[in-house]
């Protein structure tokens, strides 16, 4: 069993266990050489097994394993736009999903940088227009947005976050979820976001990972 498969199973179970998705929502992908491993359709993240993953080529063609998630095209588009990306996490985490439903969001800065770790691990968050789940028409918009940033928010849907590893992508997604929760809790109150100078002074790299539970 490859390390990529085992890591994908472990991260998928961790996401579900900690309530970052619900039911059979959410999906993950990781590069394995020239192939892309993705979670199958109709399988909750708590049910993901390393031996039962969908295998795609770099163009998104299904090569082996069970039928892939209907949102596999999101992962393929991001990886095509970001060659440095080796893993992607997509969830319907409740606070980020709530943010995606708000009217009049700034498409390039829907969240103020309220915490240092948001600045380090997320940076810019881009809001994409609404597309029905599984609609391949989103491919071009996702690929174009991913060229300039690793964190995307799908309107009325949820976040898609890429990283050099699944752990890094999940760290960024958690910071996005946490900062969104703070933002919603402080709605209507005056906040003090980090200034551009404070953001620029942050020395910890965005790739910093902490051990996953």
Per-residue pLDDT of 13-67, as tens digits, reads: 999 999 999 999 999 999 999 999 999 999 999 999 999 999 999 999 999 999 9
Q: How many domains in the chain?
A: 1
89 has pLDDT over 80: yes
Tell me the whole-structure pTM to 2 decimals: 0.91
- Domain range spanning residue 160? 3-201
Select which of 9, 71, 143, 175 is catalytic: 71
- CA dist., res. 152 & res. 94, Å (int): 15
User: Is 118 in the active site?
Assistant: no
- CA dist., res. 89 & res. 173, Å (int): 8
Burial of 161 from C-beta contacts in 10 A (0-12 / 13-18 / 19+): buried
User: Is 71 in the active site?
Assistant: yes
Q: Specify the CATH number for the domain of residue 180.
A: 3.40.225.10
Task: Answer whether residue 206 is part of any domain.
Answer: no
Select which of 47, 49, 109, 117 is catalytic: 117
């Amino acid at each position: 069993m490859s390390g990529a498969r085992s890591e994908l199973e472990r991260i998928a179970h961790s996401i579900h266990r900690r309530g970052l998705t619900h039911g059979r929502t959410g999906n993950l992908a990781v590069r394995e050489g020239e192939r892309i491993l993705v979670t199958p359709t109709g399988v909750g993240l708590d049910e993901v097994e390393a031996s039962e993953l969908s295998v795609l080529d770099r163009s998104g063609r299904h090569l082996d394993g069970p039928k892939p998630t209907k949102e596999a095209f999101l992962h393929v588009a991001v990886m095509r736009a970001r060659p440095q990306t080796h893993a992607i996490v997509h969830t319907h985490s409740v606070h980020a999903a709530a943010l995606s439903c708000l009217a009049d969001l700034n498409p390039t800065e829907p969240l103020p940088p309220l915490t240092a770790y948001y600045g380090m691990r997320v940076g810019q968050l881009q809001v994409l227009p609404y597309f029905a789940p599984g609609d391949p028409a989103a491919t071009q918009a996702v690929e174009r947005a991913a060229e300039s940033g690793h964190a995307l928010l799908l309107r009325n849907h949820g976040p898609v976050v890429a990283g050099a590893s699944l752990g890094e992508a999940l760290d960024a997604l958690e910071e996005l979820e946490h900062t969104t929760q703070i933002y919603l809790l402080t709605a209507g109150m005056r906040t003090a976001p980090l200034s551009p100078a404070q953001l620029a002074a942050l020395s910890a790299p965005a790739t910093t990972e902490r051990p996953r539970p």
